[in-house]
Amino acid sequence: MNISSAGHSFVTQTYTKRAKLSDAERPAADKSPRVSADKQEPTGVALTAEQVKEVEQLKARDREVRAHEMAHLAAAGGLAMSGATFTYQRGADGVSYAVGGEVKIDTSSGSTPEDTIRKAQTIRAAALAPAEPSGQDRAVAAQASQMEAQARAEQASQDRDDEEPANAAAESSQPTSESGQAAIQQYQSVATEFNNGGQLQLEA
């Protein structure tokens, strides 16, 4: 999965669990004896032993893929943009089995850094929800962590900006520099002379 970044926002993408039979699991046309009539599948056609094995593998894959995608979907919560969708492979028994799937989730940034942090945490949880996350799932989780880190940096920057005016106001109300203290002393001296009838002379 690729997530494109633009500033602190992310473009909506999808992540996919692709679970396909390996070449070793896909037996070629086989000339082994056909199984007995009680092994017949919905097509009504007797299957060879190898075909029965292939169908059992497809059934197991179907269960694995569906459980994987349902785990993504459950953890994604309100960020899920649709239900899980699957790709299918038709077995020798004429039945289509899920061999791959995907769940689309909203990965756009939130309205505030805090909202984006929460969304990133949910995305990461959704990506790692299956019992055995794929490499692609882990990549999505890593990008969600990056999304969270950027939002936290933005949050920290906003906090600093909010603190600066307050600090500046506090500093201006409490002059502590030597020049400020000297100005106060000079004012007090001038005020004393004025009160004692002294004359003041302004100089340019």
Residues 137-175 as b or e (16 or more Cβ within 10 Å = b): bebbbebbeebbebbeebeeeeeeeeeeeeeeeeeeeee
- Distance of alpha carbon 182 from alpha carbon 186, whole angstroms: 6
Specify the pLDDT at position 135: 92
- Residue 45: per-residue pLDDT: 72
pTM recorded for the entire structure: 0.60
Q: Are the C-beta atoms of residues 55 and 47 closer than 8 Å to each other?
A: yes
Of 90, 63, 69, 153, the residue nearest 117 (C-alpha): 153
- The rounded distance, in Å, linking the Cα atoms of 98 and 106 is 24
Secondary structure string (H, E, C) spanning 57-80: HHHHHHHHHHHHHHHHHHHHHHHE
Three-state DSSP class for residue 85: strand
Contact 122, 76 (CB under 8 A): yes
Which residues are 6's β-sheet partners? Answer: 9
pLDDT given at position 163:
78
Q: In Å, what is the CA distance from 78 to each residue of 2, 72, 132, 138? A: 21, 12, 23, 21
Q: Which residues contact 184 (CB under 8 A, 6 or more apart)?
A: 175
Residue-level pLDDT, tens digit, the chain, 204 residues? 332 233 322 333 334 444 445 454 444 444 333 333 334 445 567 899 999 999 999 999 999 999 999 999 999 999 999 899 999 999 999 999 999 999 999 999 999 999 999 999 999 999 999 999 999 999 999 999 999 999 999 999 998 887 776 666 555 555 555 655 665 565 455 444 444 543 333 333
What pLDDT, on the 0 to 100 scale, is given for residue 6? 30
